[in-house]
Amino acid sequence: MSTHDDSVFIRNFSLLLAGLCVIGLTAFVLAKLVNKSVPYIHSEPKQISANVAPVGVVNAGSEAVAVAGVASAAAPAAAAAPAATPVAEASSDPGKAIYDKVCFACHAQGIAGAPKHGDVAAWEPRIAQGRDTLIKHVIDGFTGQSGMMPPRGGNPSLSDADAGLAVDYMLAAVGSGGGGAAQAAEAAVPAPAAAQPAVASADAGGKGKEIYDQVCFVCHTPGAAGAPKLGDKPAWEPRIAKGIDTLYANSLNGFMGNGTMMPPKGGRPDIADDDVKAAVDYMVSDAK
């Protein structure tokens, strides 16, 4: 390399260094000017500790801890929530349970002269006979001018104690006591044995027999209110002659005439029409 080339290189390199120094100084001056308007914040050790502290701690105690931002949102929700309403407990009166299972079939509709539940006027002459007499009529059955009562309400599984509880419940409804359970306790009636279901299994005779054993037996077993007894062919013949559709209609809609009274669906409006018809089919087939 010649001396001329060396001179050119040194000159250019020197100019480059000078330019870089100028740029660096300019940047330094500008940085100072900019930072001059920004205050320098010096954090104390306490402030630094507060800044790096955890946002919360685990609550191992039993008391609820109010948290900022959360409590304020929970409070309106708690205020908006309705007060807890106590759920009404199912009736524990065993007398009512027995009435709903057996007695209602006649006493709800007044079938065969049975005094309706809660009918004070109808119950007054019976109350005058005394509680023991009424229970005896339930157990042994009763036939008289005032009506007809099949033994044990047509349910042979009804125990003597159950009969007393049912009578007490109905007497309480007409103001002669403080409730079936209370009267039973006062009369020292023993607790009822577990009620035996009156419903036979469906495979013993199909749906028709099942419905008969649930409802129809109350009148058709003892022949209450002029109902033809199950299996009584002479009593069923004139009815069968009317046709099955007529028997269906009388069972579904009720019937009264010729000394016979049949409430709609045997006093059980909750039973399906097809089930009522099945019961009719069962009784008709048993009478043939």
In a domain, 60, yes or no: no
pLDDT digit string, tens, across residues 215-225: 888 888 888 87
> Over 50: is that where the pLDDT of 185 sits?
no
Domain that holds residue 169: 94-186
Inside any domain, residue 152 = yes
**Side chain identity at residue 40, one-letter code:** Y
Task: Considering only residues 181 and 208, tell me which one the structure prediction assigns the higher pLDDT.
Answer: 208
Strand (E) or helix (H) holding 261: strand 260-262
Residues 170, 111 share a domain: yes
Six token digits for residue 248: 């269906």
pLDDT digits (tens, 9 = 90+) for 139-170: 888 777 666 777 887 777 889 999 899 889 98
Same domain (yes/no): 114, 140: yes
Q: What is the pLDDT of residue 128?
A: 87
Single pTM value for the model: 0.42
State yes or no: pLDDT of 229 exceeds 50: yes
Which burial class, exposed, middle or buried, applies to 198 when counting CB atoms under 10 A from its CB (0-12, 13-18, 19+)? Answer: middle
Q: What angle do CA 180, 185, 190 make, to 5 degrees?
A: 100
153/110 same-domain check = yes
Determine which of 51-55, 60-64, 240-244 has the lowest per-residue pLDDT on average: 60-64
Instruction: Tell me: do 238 and 213 sit in the same domain.
Output: yes
SS3 84: coil
**Residue 70 pLDDT:** 47
What Rg, from alpha-carbon coordinates, does the chain have?
47
Domain end, chosen from 186, 215, 245, is at: 186
Helix (H) and strand (E) counts in the chain: 14, 4
Task: Flag whether 216 is in a domain.
Answer: yes
Q: What is the pLDDT of residue 248?
A: 93
Q: CA 158 to CA 139: how far, in whole Å?
A: 8
Name which residue leads in pLDDT, 72 or 19.
Answer: 19
**How many domains would you assign to the chain?**
2
**Does the residue 277 lie in any domain?**
yes
The residue that leads in pLDDT, 139 or 200, is 139
- pLDDT per residue as tens digits for the range 36-55: 765 555 555 666 666 666 66
Domain harbouring 106, CATH code = 1.10.760.10
Which of 128, 153, 186 is a domain's end point? 186
